[in-house]
Structure 1
């Protein structure tokens, strides 16, 4: 299959741009990026479900689960984070189970449930960035 040169160049640019964005991001920004990617994948999965695109649904849900498992859940320090870290760990674990169910049963409602659970956490994380304390650390 032939891919035009401009498509290959645009793809390479996006990869380099994303990589350099990650390399220069603060830890707080990295978590924001994880939430952004998670919500994008969840919305793409819902769209794929509605269109009956089984493979695309599986890819998007797989990415979402990986962000939850390796990025968000994996980044928690349950010893130092106390009750908040434990609650987030339990939330992410529940979301992973719901997305696994959604993938196996083509359940768009389960994906919507995860979105409704994750969005407030993502918004809270976003709000932290706008506090004066956060601005001083940047």
Structure 2
């Protein structure tokens, strides 16, 4: 009885996410990856607390996939230089810690990775605000010429 409604709600949510992705600029896409990884870690913590082994593993796998196939894969190490190389190493560390958290059933490790992602997410938001401000100033300068 509830499965059809649940499937409909899931389809609606997927459309919302897909629409958000299609309309997002590159900065927004990275922000969405940070948010998605953090949401998966929150779900993993919930499942860990409830003793749901399978769903916990699925949520951790989702977070690892977002970090590896999304955040880490988006790095341009040639252009990004040392910052990109350090982020690459940090993303590898996070994925390893998530794997260890699943094996050890460690909420502390999940919290650690979430904290790292939260710090990066906050910095990324700050970069976006600053970039928008600089672009607005550039636009004003161009119109004054």
* TM-score, normalised relative to structure 1: 0.91
Write the distance in 2 (CA, Å) between the matches of 1:55 and 1:70.
22
Equivalent residue number for residue 27 of structure 2: 28
What's the C-alpha RMSD, in Å, of the aligned pairs? 1.7
Write the distance in 1 (CA, Å) between the matches of 2:129 and 2:15.
28
Equivalent residue number for residue 121 of structure 2: 122
Equivalent residue number for residue 67 of structure 1: 66
Structure number having the greater helix percentage: 2
Write the distance in 2 (CA, Å) between the matches of 1:27 and 1:136.
20
Write the distance in 2 (CA, Å) between the matches of 1:60 and 1:100.
11
Larger Rg: 2
Write the distance in 1 (CA, Å) between the matches of 2:67 and 2:117.
10
Q: How does 1:1-138 map to 2 (within 5 A)?
A: 2-131=1-130, 132-133=133-134
C-alpha deviation, 1:134, in angstroms: 5.6
Shifted more, 8-17 versus 20-29: the winner is 8-17
Deviations along 1:44-69, one digit per CA (max 9) or x if unpaired, are: 11111111111111011000000010
Q: What SS does structure 2 have at the residue aligned with 1:75? A: coil
Structure 1 contact 129–135 (Cα < 8 Å) conserved: no
Listed as ranges, the gaps of 5+ residues in structure 1 are none
* TM-score, normalised relative to structure 2: 0.87
Structure 1 contact 128–134 (Cα < 8 Å) conserved: no
Deviations along 1:10-40, one digit per CA (max 9) or x if unpaired, are: 2221111111111110000000000000111
